[in-house]
Amino acid sequence: MKKIIWIITLAFVVVSCAKDYEFNTQFSTPTTLKSPAVVVIKVTSTDNIQLSWTGGGASQGYTTYEVLFDKVGGDFSNPVYRSFSDLGVDTTFTLTHALLNTIARKAGISTATEGKIIWTVTASKGGDVKKSNLTKEISVTRGAGIDYTGKSLYLYGTATENNGVGGLAMRNAAEGIFVIYTKAPVAGTIFFKSSTTDANAFVCYADASNKIKEGDGTFNVSANAVGEEYRVIVDLNTQKMSIDKIGTVKAIWGVTYDVIGNMVYQGSGIFKADGCTIKFIQKERPDTNPPSWLGWIEERYYFIAKVNGTDVCWGRKDGVSSERPTGTETSAFYELVEFPWTQWDHLWKMKGILDLTKCTITINTNDNGMVTHSFSNVQPL
């Protein structure tokens, strides 16, 4: 009997406690929003810009806040940027000039121009989200120059080798420098985007003086470039674009200048020579055209490319071993770098197993951020 009374008493206490400590999920959105009316953006500034709000919140516990930014006229259903408030629960949001500059760009405000963005706040608790019916407007002025620091850039336009269907990936050769080897099948236009899927991607183009400008625009590729291979270099650091005409590309023996293979452009930044005969040069093989002074086996090679009408060397990178490869080398061993052409500089040695074979030689101008070459389809002579 005492045990039954004790159980009834315990149940009464638990029920009473549950009633006394019932969690209250009621909350409301802010009643005022505060932010600077005008901001002149200085990307390198260490000063912060603070947004804040008052009113609303929860009578019990914490409310989580998120700040949404949009273009003027937008309804925040697809904001250009969103972030939780400071610590997620503070009624402030601190942002840098650099971040505000990115938000302004995503809102369609070009460099060296003034425009407006709007922001609002959502409040949430217990999985329930409420958007404030208040918005605040900020007039921002962006500085001149290009602020994009991403690692991706794509070539777009009607004068692209894929007929304008999607973007062609450019190689990120260095900070702010992007390169692509391609061709123009027709006269038309080109421009650049940082993404093939993001509606708010960074967009830029080159004007008639080859100066890179942020925003919508195009560069005209003239009819005399149709069908030619070329190299496009976008340097966001100097805001310049250059277009180099690529003529013949040949794999040659360094000692004789004899051609191993004539590289033919295949599309997608690939040059290839099929059926190349590989015979190391030596006196015992007169058909290899050995110089009269040659007293050893010579297997050194490099590539000669005609760029804007001048022969240059696409050769071995400084600091890379000049010895025969053993087969354990990474693709970086085969990286091509452009140099002025001198006979005995920047040569590679071929693997011994390539002697007396036929093979395919390939140059890939966008191999994980490098221009590399490789040998494949190796068959005995």
* Residue 21 scores a pLDDT above 60: no
Q: Is the model's pTM score more than 0.85?
A: no
The whole-number pLDDT of residue 19 equals 44
**Among 2.60.40.10, 3.30.559.10, 3.40.1390.20, 2.60.120.620, what is the CATH number of 28-141?**
2.60.40.10
Share of the chain above pLDDT 70, in %: 92
Q: Where are the domains of the chain?
A: 28-141, 154-238, 247-380
| Paired sense of beta strands 38-40 and 136-141, if any | parallel
Share of the chain above pLDDT 90, in %: 70
The whole-number pLDDT of residue 319 equals 87
Mean pLDDT within 115-130: 92
pLDDT tier, 320 (very low <50, low <70, confident <90, very high otherwise): very high
The whole-number pLDDT of residue 372 equals 97
Task: Express each pLDDT in 235-261 by its tens digit.
Answer: 988 889 999 999 999 999 999 999 999
Q: Which of the residue ranges 120-134, 285-299, 357-371 would you say has the lowest mean pLDDT?
A: 120-134
Query: Average pLDDT of the chain?
Result: 89
What is the 3-state secondary structure of the chain?
A: CHHHHHHHHHHHHHHHHHHHCCCCCCEECCCEEECCCEEECCCCCCCEEEEEEECCEECCCCCEEEEEEEECCCCCCCCCEEEECHHHCCCEEEEEHHHHHHHHHHCCCCCCCEEEEEEEEEEEECCEEEECCCCEEEEEECCCCCCCCCCCCEEECCCCCCCCCCCEECEEEECCEEEEEEEECCCEEEEEECCCCCCCCCEEEECCCCEEEECCCCEEECHHHECCEEEEEEECCCCEEEEEEEEEEEEEECCCCCEEEEEEEEECCEEEEEEEEECCECCCCHHHCCCCCCCCCECEEEEEEEECCEEEEEEECCCCCCCCCCCCCCHHHHEEEEEECCCCCCCEECCHHHCCEEEEEEEEEEECCEEEEEEEEEEEC
The whole-number pLDDT of residue 25 equals 64
Task: Express each pLDDT in 32-64 by its tens digit.
Answer: 999 999 999 987 788 999 999 998 888 777 899
46 vs 357, more confident: 357
pLDDT tier, 224 (very low <50, low <70, confident <90, very high otherwise): low
